[in-house]
Amino acid sequence: MRTFFAPILAGASFGDRLAACGGAAVGIALTAVASAVVVGDTSAWLLLVAPMGASAVLIFVVPASPLAQPWSVIGGNIVSALVGVAVAAVVPSVALASGLAVGGAILAMSLLRCLHPPGGAAALTAVIGGPAVAAAGWMFPILPVGVNAVILTAAGLLFHRMSRHSYPHRTAVTAAPPFVAGDDPVPHPEDLDAALADLGETFDIAREDLDQLFERVRVHAALRRSTGEDPTAKS
């Protein structure tokens, strides 16, 4: 039972997760309120789109993820919504348009280096969002999607500054102790846990996957030593 409730993500702690819950709740609420202020007349506009809920999970829970960085959140949502509106305008079949919108959004985000999973939902919303989204037309990617994304990202910046997490994420550079011949270059599980605790970040990779990655490093290091190959040598 204890294992069942253990965090799935590497570096996750229950305290950080509780703080992230509060941050996401406040962030979404602020996004809705601030969007209403920007719009003014709230009767004719969508104030909040569903993909922002998924964006909030990434921003507040795994701020170290490349998928949660400001350009990914803002660019990914806006670009995907643009793709969705464009596809909906030229493809009459809702089923076909839905598939093309999501696939096209993934391609566009990949090319623009702003891959963000909720962007797929933004593209899909542009196709199946109903009369309110259809009425917004080409404004939909800007208002509410773009405005929502900017405000939510700003809330994330403020939250992580207060909680002392790095966002936008920057890899901390720390001085490593000198390597002693004979030391195991690959950390043991307890070393990995200690290192994750030092960093104080939640990473979007499972603890077991990190173990497997380091084990493969160990294997390839042994192969390199046995063959005498120098990975730094230029061909």
Q: Round to whole Å and give the CA distance between 109 and 98.
A: 17
Please, are residues 19 and 205 in contact by the beta-carbon 8 Å criterion?
Answer: no
Coil, helix or strand for 203?
Answer: strand
Tell me the pLDDT tens digit for each residue of 144-167.
999 999 999 999 999 999 988 889
Instruction: Give the relative orientation of helices 70-90 and 147-162 as an angle to the nearest 10 degrees.
Output: 160
**Among the ranges given (22-26, 200-204, 216-220), the one the predictor scored with the smallest mean pLDDT:** 200-204
Please, are residues 77 and 112 in contact by the beta-carbon 8 Å criterion?
Answer: no
Domain ranges (residues) in the chain: 9-162
Rg of the chain on CA atoms, in Å: 22
Residue 229's alpha-carbon distances to 182, 193, 205, 215, 217, in angstroms, are 19, 31, 31, 19, 15
> What integer best gives the mean pLDDT of the chain?
84
- Please, where are the H alpha helices in 91-188? 94-111, 118-128, 131-136, 147-162
Total residue count of the chain as it appears in this document: 235
Q: Round to whole Å and give the CA distance between 84 and 119.
A: 10
Tell me the pLDDT tens digit for each residue of 85-132.
999 999 999 999 999 999 999 999 999 999 999 999 999 999 999 998
Q: Which helix (H) or strand (E) holds 186?
A: none
Please, are residues 199 and 169 in contact by the beta-carbon 8 Å criterion?
Answer: no
Q: Which helix (H) or strand (E) holds 9?
A: strand 9-10
Q: How confident is the model over 172-197, as a mean pLDDT?
A: 60
